[in-house]
Amino acid sequence: MSEPSESGDKTHFGYKTVDAGKKADLVRDVFDSVASRYDIMNDLMSGGMHRLWKRFTIEQANVRPGQQVLDLAGGTGDLALKFSRLVGDSGHVVLADINAAMLNEGRRRLVDAGASANVSIAQVNAEALPFANSSFDCLTIAFGLRNVTDKQAALASMYRVLKPGGKAMILEFSRPSDAIKPAYDLYSFKVLPALGQLIAKDADSYQYLAESIRMHPDQETLKGMMQEAGFERCRYHNLMAGIVALHIGYRI
């Protein structure tokens, strides 16, 4: 599993080859379709493990009161909610996503939780973040990078908006160990679309999910891409035998 090769203005949407300019709209359609059932599906798909993976990410972030945090591709706001409590009244969190339907879910949940005072909402494209240089102490993107058309551009944009000493954290599906790969593939391509049809009435979006994971760069490839973007002290933690990996890099 490595970064897929692209030619001209073509890119991958799952296993399909599409015009690069159309991928963002295709991804938007996927998340428009599943937004209202997104968290329920995450719990079902992972057996609740996604909550532990995100908790580990928050622990590794070590965010402190007064800091500025960008939760990129933050969707329904579960990470942003936790960060808002950690940074306190003197800090600020930006919940950012390219998808309006997901942000609407996130806004509703943050308001319901009483956590909207120090959180702002921004609809953005990760490849060209509309924030000033050196704006954030910490940046997270959880299960979002694989959906970005130009991942290298997104990594460069993420690096630019971090403050010197700032930390980027990329939580994403990755390459599992060979021992569990057959069972993982069976689950991904048979069970997952069936769950998507049953719960979200949308098997195709979850077929895309399984395919997009296979097309995403593996652990070492993504680490190299982060280094190419300028990040230093890059490392990753494999979770659940590599099904998920948390990559961490710093702007020094």
How confident is the model at residue 3, as a pLDDT?
44
What helix, strand, coil percent values describe the chain, rounded to 5?
50, 25, 30
Do residues 81 and 107 touch, judged by C-beta distance below 8 A?
A: no
- Give how far the C-alpha of residue 102 lies from the chain's centroid of Cα atoms, to the nearest Å: 13
> For residue 81, what pLDDT is reported?
96
CA–CA dist 8, 151 (Å, integer)? 16
Cβ contact 32:99 at 8 Å: yes
pLDDT at 39 exceeding the cut of 70: yes
Which positions ≥6 away from 219 have C-beta within 8 Å? 174, 175, 236, 238, 242, 245, 247
The model's pLDDT over 45-87, given as tens digits with 9 standing for 90+, comes to 888 999 999 999 999 999 999 999 999 999 889 999 999 999 9
For residue range 100-155, list pLDDT tens digits in order. Answer: 989 999 999 999 998 889 999 999 999 999 999 999 999 999 999 999 999 999 99
Whether the pLDDT of residue 162 is over 80: the answer is yes
Residue-range domains of the chain with CATH? 10-179+205-250 (3.40.50.150)
Highest-confidence segment of 9-13, 24-28, 92-96, 146-150: 92-96
High-pLDDT (> 90) share of the chain, %: 71
Residue type, 91: G
- The band of 8, judged by pLDDT with boundaries at 50, 70 and 90, is low
pLDDT at 116: 80
What residues contact 251, with CB distance under 8 A and at least 6 apart?
159, 162, 163, 164, 165, 166, 168, 230, 231, 232
> Hey, what amino acid is at 127?
E
What pLDDT score does 195 carry? 85
pLDDT digits 0-9 by tens, 164-204: 999 999 999 999 999 999 999 999 999 988 888 887 788 88
Residue 38 has pLDDT above 80, yes or no: no
For residue 32, the model assigns a pLDDT of 75
More confidently predicted of 1 and 200: 200
* Cβ-proximal residues to 36 (8 Å cutoff; 6+ apart), any chain: 101, 105
